[in-house]
Amino acid sequence: MTTLLVLPLFAQIRSGFRGSGSKYPEFYVLPPTGGAQTNRLKGMFIGNEWQHLSNKVFRVNGMKIEHYDWSGETNLVAIAPECLFDAEARVAWSTGRLDIVGMSGGVTIRGARGFFARMGDSTLIISNKVRTTIQRELIGPITP
């Protein structure tokens, strides 16, 4: 099994290179007054299989994005069978399916056709045929 660690050494990776079991971390940044990166993990982009396509773009099979709150607890997990990932811009996108589980299973979202994720500012856009399910316990009693 080959492991690919995505680091700022992209120019040294030849086109067509394949790897597996890679993780790409994103850390919280202090407010502008502090300006320094912290050691608190904000998110993790995980891929089961990676193929280098061009420049800093990879095809990723078995994609998973985990997002963590400030205390380190996982508050969202997004899973897709396949996507493209630009390692320099730290963005992922696909015209395929995306499944999301948040709030310990209280919220589930399925996007059937397309998404865009930007790791730096934790942006996730889901497009086309989106279905959201929210557990009733999260919204409380409904009165007519």
pLDDT exceeds 50 at position 5: no
What pLDDT shows up at residue 20?
81
What pLDDT shows up at residue 19?
78
What pLDDT shows up at residue 105?
85
pLDDT exceeds 70 at position 3: no
pLDDT exceeds 60 at position 142: yes
What pLDDT shows up at residue 136?
74
Residue carrying structure tokens 């630009």: 86
Q: What would the mean pLDDT of 84-106 be, rounded to a whole number?
A: 93
- pTM, to two decimals: 0.78
What pLDDT shows up at residue 36?
64
Q: 15: pLDDT confidence band, cut at 50, 70 and 90?
A: low
Domain ranges of the chain: 13-139
Q: 31: pLDDT confidence band, cut at 50, 70 and 90?
A: low
Higher-pLDDT residue of 85, 14: 85
Maximum Cα–Cα distance across the chain: 63
What pLDDT shows up at residue 16?
63
CB 1 within 8 A of CB 21: yes
pLDDT exceeds 50 at position 6: no
Buried b (16+ CB within 10 A) or exposed e, 41-78: ebbbbbbebbbbeeebbbbbebbbbbbbeeeeeeebbb
**Angle formed at CA 101 by CA 40 and CA 74, multiple of 5 degrees:** 20
Q: What would the mean pLDDT of 75-89 be, rounded to a whole number?
A: 95
State whether CATH 2.60.450 applies to domain 13-139.
yes
Provide the mean pLDDT of the chain: 84
